[in-house]
Amino acid sequence: MFELTITSTLPRTRARTALFRTPHKELETPELAIVATDAKLRGIPKELWNDLPCQYLIVNTYHTFTKEIIPKIKDAGGIHAYMGYPKRKIATDSGGFQVFSLGFGKKHKVGKFAGKIAPSEMIVDDTENIVTIDENGVSFEYDGKPVYLSPEISMDLQKEIGADIIFAFDECTSPFNSEEYTRSSMERTHRWLDRCITAHAPYRDMQALFGIVQGGEYKSLREESARVLATKDVPGFGLGGSLGKFKEEVHGILDWIIPILPIEKPKHFLGIGQVRDIFEGVERGVDLFDCVIPTREARHRMVYTKMGRHSLRKMQYIDGPIERDCLCHACRAGIKPKDIWELFKVKDPSAAIYATSHNIWFFSRLMEEIRMAIKKNTFYELKHEYYKYY
């Protein structure tokens, strides 16, 4: 399913290109998945989806489950038919990170990173998780109703969705959790992976199950988790969890774990997709990414170009498209930033269409440029060009 095609010969890099084959499509990596949270691309009407260049999408298992979308997906014949994407690769997450967001993430007010918090404010807290987690699974409330998730339920839900890549059900920890709690959580995640493998066994030829490396910000735990997962019979790995107190720590975490994982299997960096993080991840051997940035930032009137990230408000005096060589719905029609800005001001839905289309085109082209640079041995030159503005 995963065939390495080019491994960079440049010093200090593990960058590579590969072909990832599934029943639906052959995907060239490195690649970024566009997030389609509840099986739709926000801001873009369905009739325009096939005009977009994105070849990899990720759908949120938790949201499609709690919003009762999965029966509709199943009735349509699976996620590819439901979205009208018969030849594009689609992944589903397990729901583990959303459970974290409802629990310690919400209590500690953290997401992927704790952010710039003063050391004096970094107080360890393992008490009173808002959700209930035990060996069997996780209990919580959604919209006033009780919800229960377990490794087996997550596998069943992802099987019904029918994605190409699915992820094992895991427990994420907060940067505020102690090393003791993080170890206990990591070991539970490993046991849950074994249950996921068993539950998924009848469908392993139809879906690729990725195990997830956990261990928080602790080097010894991340390395231990990577060693455990390297022994498991899974076709790939997710690099997950809340990734440290500060964003700068994330690249060090990759340095700890990627050399331990089998080189012949793909690695997906879950929930990461800033421009610099993509370059740093690819340089360290990451093959796949996913992030809400292209669509979420567009709805907040931010667009990406080769010369940086810009507010449409500040670009409204530019006499031309957002980017001249872009083929998005806005740029190829000659729609100017000031036009889009005015559409946002009057809450015209076409504003989100133009901005979202542009950001998806930007990130798709960025990944294509990275793949080409690896093949031409010009990866560092491309990285330097983008780092002038990011």
Residue 350 lies in a domain: no
pLDDT 10s digits, 309-333: 999 999 988 999 999 999 999 999 9
Please state the domain count of the chain.
1
**342 domain-assigned:** no
Question: For 183-190, which contacts have Cβ atoms below 8 Å and span 24 or more sequence positions?
Answer: 183/218, 183/221, 185/214, 186/214, 186/215, 186/216, 186/221, 186/224, 186/225, 188/133, 188/135, 189/214, 189/225, 190/225, 190/228, 190/229
Q: Domain range spanning residue 201?
A: 30-300
CATH of the domain at 287: 3.20.20.105
Q: Residue 336, Cβ neighbours under 10 Å: how many?
A: 19
Inside any domain, residue 375: no
CA angle, 32 then 268 then 70, to 5°: 80
In this structure, the strands spanning 138-142 and 145-149 are: antiparallel
Instruction: Enumerate the H helices of 258-390 as residue ranges.
Output: 275-283, 293-299, 312-315, 337-345, 349-376, 379-387
Cα 184 from Cα 157, distance rounded (Å): 26
Instruction: Tell me, yes or no, if 339 is annotated catalytic.
Output: no
Residue 48 tokens read as 């325009």
Calpha distance 279→385 (Å, rounded): 11
Query: Do residues 107 and 129 make contact, with C-beta atoms less than 8 angstroms apart?
Result: yes
Structure tokens at 195: 């249950």
Is 123 a member of any domain? yes
Q: Which one of 164, 287, 290, 339 is the catalytic residue?
A: 290
Q: What is the pLDDT of residues 219-266, one digit of tens each?
A: 999 999 999 999 999 999 999 876 655 566 788 899 999 999 999 999
Is 309 within the bounds of a domain? Answer: no
The residue whose two tokens read 């005015």 is 342
| Tokens read off for 12 | 């200090």
Closest CA to 91 of 82, 79, 76, 81: 79
Q: Is there a domain that residue 326 lies in?
A: no
Annotated catalytic residue, options 93, 277, 287, 339: 93
- What is the pLDDT, as a whole number, of residue 22? 84
93 included as an active-site residue: yes
List of residues 6+ apart from 345 with CB closer than 8 A: none
- Tens of pLDDT along the chain (390 residues) come to 899 999 999 999 999 999 999 878 899 999 999 999 999 999 999 999 999 999 999 999 999 999 999 999 999 999 999 999 888 999 999 988 888 878 888 887 877 666 656 555 667 888 888 899 999 999 988 888 899 999 999 999 999 999 999 999 999 988 888 999 999 999 999 999 999 999 999 999 999 999 999 999 899 999 999 999 999 999 999 998 766 555 667 888 999 999 999 999 999 999 999 999 999 999 999 999 999 999 999 999 999 999 999 999 999 889 999 999 999 999 999 999 999 999 999 999 999 999 999 999 999 999 999 999 999 999 999 999 999 999
Is the residue at 21 inside a domain? no
Region for residue 230 given its phi and psi (left: phi exceeds 0; alpha: psi -120 to 50; beta: otherwise): alpha
- Structure confidence at residue 48 (pLDDT): 93
Inside any domain, residue 109: yes
